[in-house]
Structure 1
Amino acid sequence: MCDKHASTVPCSNDSAQSSRRRRVWELSHASHCPLVGVGLPLNGLRKLVEKVTGGKVLHDDYDIHVGTVSECALRTPVADAVQKELERRYAQHIQRFRAAKTTEQVEAMWAAAVAAGDVAGAFWAGLSHPRCTVALEEKMCRDIHMVQHQAGACARADLNKFNAIVADNSRLEREVVRLQERCNALTHEKSLDAERHEQLLMTARAATIAREGDVATLRAELARLQASVPELDTRERMAERIAQLEAREQALRAQVAELKTLRPAAPDAEVAPAAAAEPVAVPVAMPVRLHNRAVLCVGGRSSSVPIYRTMIERVGAQFAHHDGGLEDSSSQLDASLAAADLVICQTGCISHSAYWRVKDHCKRHGKRCVFVDNPSVSSLARGLQEAATEEPQPG
């Protein structure tokens, strides 16, 4: 037999033989509550009831839910509206469940929907399926009851997570504000630094431009002064030549004074002028001879060259002389140095260039070089004696 709703709910045997899907009012009363609660959202349910009643419903959500569940027990306007809304909302689920031809297939599709978490449409499609038995309907109601409990627990967990996320979001917003304020402060500081550096750069550029202007002015003034003094280079060379001649004159005066002290007294006053006019060979004690040696004297007084020649030839050497670049060409000095065996350099009467050339040549070729500071005959004699002591003695 059918249950107490035999007038509205067909027997399971009849349902098994029919292919027509069941309506809302044909379901058991126990399935109405979960079907309305799960299948229709509260806002949608309120709009649906207001549309049927033709006015605004002032009851709360619970009263509307309870009233709708009661209306679904029979075929009422509210039940028809709920039937149409469920058919419209879950048309795809209904179409998918049409593939089930047996009660076992309907149960398998419902279990898959529960596992996937898609229960609202599958609940209506399974309950209204022609092969849904009383046992399967009861099982689906029990499953949806547990799903609702789990959904509530998940909702509470989600709410806790949401509250935690809101708190964390607030904290992050405060941190963002703090970082933004710090970023703005740093940006302002960097802007001030950039302005200060720009001012310093402009000041440096202005100073550079001013210095360049001063340099250009000084160069123009120098060019004007050089142009106002004709033959400036010639005058400078003449001044240098005059200084050299003055130094040579002082050396000659010192040599004359030395010769006067070394010359023996004349027998009468008439012979003295003639003796002074000719070079005087001062006898020098030379115990060793420089046989077959070429001796080069660099520097010295030109008026004493004959005396140098006599002194060197007396000791058996060949005489050569170069004035150290005062009048003789400096290019001749290299040839004279190459031909000499002994070099006597009188450093007081030669140029710096000649001095270094003599020193470098003797060092590179291993030649004996005697440096004499005082350009006098006695200093020359001492230089010859010093060089002779290092020469091998004849057997």
Structure 2
Amino acid sequence: MCDKHPSLDPANVQFQTQQSSRRRRIWELSRNCHCPLIGVALPLGTLRKLVEKVTGGALMHDDYEVHVGAVNDCTSRNRVAEAVQKELERRYAQVIFRFRSARSAAQVAELWEAAVNAGDVAGAFWAGLSHPACVPALEEKMCRDIHMVQHQAGACARADIGKYNALLGDKARFEGELARLQARCNALLHEKKLDADRFEQQLMAARAATIARETDVHNLRNELAQLRSTIPELETRKRLANQLARMEAREAALRGQIAELKTNRAEAAARVAEPAAAAPAPAVPASMSAAPPVIPIQLVNQSVLCVGGRSGNVSFYRKMVEKSGAQFAHHDGGLEDSSNQLDASLAAADLVICQTGCISHGAYWRVKEYCKRTGKRCVFVDNPSVSSLARGLQEMGAVPALAMAEEGPATEAEACKT
């Protein structure tokens, strides 16, 4: 530093520091330092506020006029110069404290070089110029350096302005793209909102339908419970109905077996009758040649239920009914047989014979109501004799007249004896 600037001789520096140790004020600097110092160390906005505060009113001048006016005012001590001095001391107090350790112009020059290399020249420029050890040669060097720094800053500013303009173009392009994307997002959001509203309506409708269905199920369950409570012996009737179905299936199988046996018996009778037909027929009296009229048999392979009657006549009832080709079943009307079995017996029968003379009132009305409700054929016999039963079946066209003529009186006599 001393080779470049001969005026920075140690003797001169010593003489300078011996003259005064007080830092210089801004109005004590040379006129060449005011312009770069105010331009670099104080932003234009801050400078305008200081001047407006001192003058007590808003300035109508532009930034250049404010700058030139402040530079001229700082050449002497006045209110503007004192305000600028105070602001510089406050703003760059830390840098001033760092430069306070320098005891010679060479040390101040080293601190200045370091600040220039670091790019932080505003505070260092004021701290170096106001330092007690700053000599005119160092002051001139600092002014030249700050001048070049300003040129570099201007070039950088121009480059930054170009980049800034390019960034503005990119910003405008991105803003346009962002606006398009926002419009698309808004349209998608509107569409999704419509879909969400539609799905919400469908969900509400489904919930309403589910609630209505659950309400119907609850009402039906209540009605079922009420019906079950009003119908006595419902479980027993269900069990009897299942039993009836099994009995009907068994009855069908038995009828098939009976039909097969009857077919086999007819075939066997035909084979036996063939040799007898070849022999000469014996003479038949004229009185026996004419066969008695036969009523058409209508109960073949059917089930006949006899309800009531005398217990001693049941065997004769069975014999007479089975001769007509039917199956016989008997129920005493609740005397010994269970009354719960009556419904099953009625359901399994094709024809019902009700012995009204030997039956309880409950069984009578039960048989009558069942036959009326189901449309099942029913014969009501007042007298429990076998002949009365035969007449009832003859009226139904069920028993041949010959069988009734041969067996009716005998069986009726036996029944009376019983």
State TM-score, norm by structure 2: 0.52
Q: Which of 87, 90, 96 is 2:89 aligned to?
A: 87
Q: By how many angstroms is 1:205 displaced?
A: 4.6
- Judged with a 3 Å threshold, the aligned counterparts in structure 2 of structure 1 residues 175 and 260 are, in CA distance, closer, same or farther, namely same
Cα distance in structure 1, aligned partners of 2:67 and 2:243: 125
| 1:59-78 matched pairs, under 5 angstroms | 59-78=61-80
Residue 154 of structure 1, CA deviation? 4.1
Q: Counterparts of 1:54 and 1:219 in 2: how far apart (Å)?
A: 99
SS state at 1:265 partner: helix
Q: Which amino acid aligns with 1:180?
A: N
Paired position in structure 2 for 1:258: 267
Tell me the equivalent position of 1:167. Answer: 172
| Among 238, 256, 263, the residue aligned to 1:247 | 256
Q: Secondary structure at the match of 2:110?
A: helix
Q: Partner residue of 1:235?
A: 244
Partners of 2:13 and 2:104 within 8 A in 1: no
In structure 2, the partner of 1:344 is none
What does the per-residue CA deviation read over 1:337-387, in whole Å, with 9 as the maximum and x for residues that have no partner? xxxxxxxxxxxxxxxxxxxxxxxxxxxxxxxxxxxxxxxxxxxxxxxxxxx
* Aligned mate of 2:204, from 195, 198, 221: 198
Closer/same/farther in 2, CA of residues 120 and 242 from structure 1, 3 Å limit: same
Shift of 1:176: 5.6
Name stretches of at least 5 consecutive residues in structure 2 with no aligned partner: 1-11, 282-418
Correspondent of 1:186 among 186, 189, 192: 192
Q: What is the correspondence of 1:314-333 to structure 2 with a 5 Å cutoff?
A: none
Equivalent position amino acid for 1:132 in 2: C
Shift in Å at residue 221 of structure 1?
A: 6.2
Q: How does 1:121-200 map to 2 (within 5 A)?
A: 121-156=123-158, 157=160, 159-160=164-165, 163-164=168-169, 166-167=171-172, 170-171=175-176, 174-175=179-180, 177-178=182-183, 179-200=185-206
Provide the residue aligned with 1:389 in structure 2.
none
Show CA shifts across 1:152-204 (max 9, x none). Answer: 34444254366346525633652464123432332233222221233134235
Distance 1:59 1:95 in 2: 36
Aligned residue pairs total 260
- Helix, strand or coil at the partner of 2:275: coil
Inter-CA distance 215–174: structure 2 relative to 1 (3 Å threshold):
same
Q: Distance in 2 between matches of 1:113 and 1:208?
A: 86
Q: Deviations over 1:295-326 (max 9, x none)?
A: xxxxxxxxxxxxxxxxxxxxxxxxxxxxxxxx
Residue 29 of structure 1: aligned partner: 31
- Secondary structure of the 2:77 match is coil
Residues 231-264 of structure 1 deviation map (CA, whole Å, 9 limit, x = unaligned):
4344334323322221111111122133235557
Cα deviation, residue 66, structure 1: 1.1
What's the counterpart of residue 16 of structure 2? 15
Check the 8 A contact 1:33/1:69 in 2, yes or no: yes
Q: Which residue of 2 aligns with 1:330?
A: none
For structure 1, list consecutive stretches of 5 or more residues without a partner in the other structure: 1-10, 271-395
1: CA distance, partners of 2:55 / 2:214: 93
Distance 2:280 2:151 in 1: 157
Structure 2 vs 1, CA of residues 85 and 189 (structure 1 numbering), >3 Å: closer, same or farther? Answer: same
Alignment identity in percent? Answer: 45
SS of residue in 1 equivalent to 2:22: coil
> What CA distance in whole angstroms lies between the structure 2 residues aligned with 1:232 and 1:56?
113
| One-letter amino acid of the structure 1 residue matched with residue 168 of structure 2 | N
Tell me if the contact between 1:126 and 1:132 (Cα under 8 Å) persists in the aligned partners.
Answer: yes
Instruction: Using the TM superposition, name which of 26-35 and 169-178 deviates more.
Output: 169-178
* Cα drift, residue 35 of structure 1: 0.3
Displaced runs of 4+ in structure 1, greater than 6 A? 218-223, 267-270
Which residue identity is paired with 2:275?
A: A
Q: How far did residue 133 of structure 1 move?
A: 2.9
Query: How many angstroms apart in 2 are the aligned matches of 1:59 and 1:34?
Result: 20
Deviations 1:119-168 (A, max 9, x none): 21111001111222333322322232233334334444254366346525
In structure 1, distance between residues paired with 2:224 and 2:58: 102
For the aligned residue pairs, the C-alpha RMSD in angstroms reads 3.7
Q: Which stretch of the first structure deviates more once superposed, 113-122 or 201-210? A: 201-210
> Which residue of the partner structure matches residue 317 of structure 1?
none
Matches of 1:107 and 1:45 in 2, distance apart? 28
Compared with structure 1, are the counterparts of its residues 73 and 176 closer, same or farther at alpha carbon in structure 2 (3 Å cutoff)? same
Q: Return the alpha-carbon distance in structure 1 between the equivalents of residues 137 and 50 of structure 2.
A: 31
**In structure 1, C-alpha distance between the alignment counterparts of 2:216 and 2:280, rounded to whole Å:** 77
2:66 and 2:155 map into 1 onto residues whose CA distance is: 24
Question: What letter is aligned with 2:267?
Answer: E
TM-score, with structure 1 as normaliser: 0.55
Q: CA deviation at 1:74?
A: 3.3
